[in-house]
Amino acid sequence: MIDTFRHQGLRRKLVETIKSKGIKNENVLDAIGKVPRHLFMDNAFVEFAYKDNAFPIAAGQTISQPYTVAYQTELLQVQKGEKILEVGTGSGYQACVLHEMGARVFTIERQAELFKKTKAFLPQIGYNLKMFFGDGYAGLPTFAPFNKIIVTAGAPEIPKALIEQLKVGGIMVIPVNHINFDGIQVMTTVTKIDEQNIEIKEWDSFRFVPLLQNKNY
């Protein structure tokens, strides 16, 4: 797999763009600077890999906009060695950004075609992550609890199972459907204060593909 000086140069520019949009965490910016995004995209779009945009991948899904990836990752406050669950593997790009930050990543995807493709692809470019096929709405109970949870699809609500699978002190970052605007989500953080209490905060608005429940095929 080829990562040329040109790709690396474009990646540095992308990092500058994301920085200018307000991302400050140096570890997040470094990770975006490391993951070769052009390898995650279908051939037709390789030229656009380092533009700060979302793009179509297999099965009608999208690879998130780099700014959105950085925004969610910054809110997660990732520390080295943390166990992180990602719901919505998609291309695997977000998962690799977390891996580059030293996290132990567990990622789950419900779309069979995409799951198979990404599971075969990531090891080819040197990323060996724990990938699961299933309904991430239910989390990954066998491997819980997690220090952090990141959902990369638009959720109708905050799934209870995911709150349960968060460690005390842990943070979940999840885009939750806006009450008044169809197809728009409010980025939301859920911090687990103790076994009974959570703190919910709302941030900026984004647009994600939907998080589907009870539909893995």
Catalytic status, residue 91 = no
Our finding on whether 165 is near ligand SAH (CB under 6 A) is no
Query: CB-wise, 193 or 206, nearer to ligand SAH?
Result: 206
Our finding on whether 100 is near ligand SAH (CB under 6 A) is no
- Give residue 75's identity as a one-letter amino acid code: L
Question: Taking the CB of residue 116, how many other CB atoms lie within 10 A of it?
Answer: 14
C-alpha pair distances (Å), 101 with each of 84, 105, 115: 11, 10, 23
Q: How far is the CB of 40 from ligand SAH (least distance, A)?
A: 7
Q: How far is the CB of 87 from ligand SAH (least distance, A)?
A: 5
Our finding on whether 111 is near ligand SAH (CB under 6 A) is yes
In the list 144, 158, 198, 212, the residue contacting ligand SAH (rule: CB under 6 A) is 212
49-58 burial string, b = 16+ CB within 10 Å, else e?
bbbeebbebe
Our finding on whether 88 is near ligand SAH (CB under 6 A) is yes
Our finding on whether 109 is near ligand SAH (CB under 6 A) is yes
What is the C-alpha separation between 12 and 29, in angstroms, rounded?
9
Say whether the peptide bond before residue 145 is cis (omega within 30 degrees of 0). yes
**H or E element, residue 178:** none
Question: Taking the CB of residue 193, how many other CB atoms lie within 10 A of it?
Answer: 10
In the list 23, 29, 38, 61, the residue contacting ligand SAH (rule: CB under 6 A) is 61
Our finding on whether 93 is near ligand SAH (CB under 6 A) is yes
Q: Which residues are annotated as catalytic?
A: 64
Which positions lie near ligand SAH, rule CB under 6 A?
61-64, 87-88, 90-91, 93-94, 108-111, 114, 135-137, 152-153, 209, 211-213
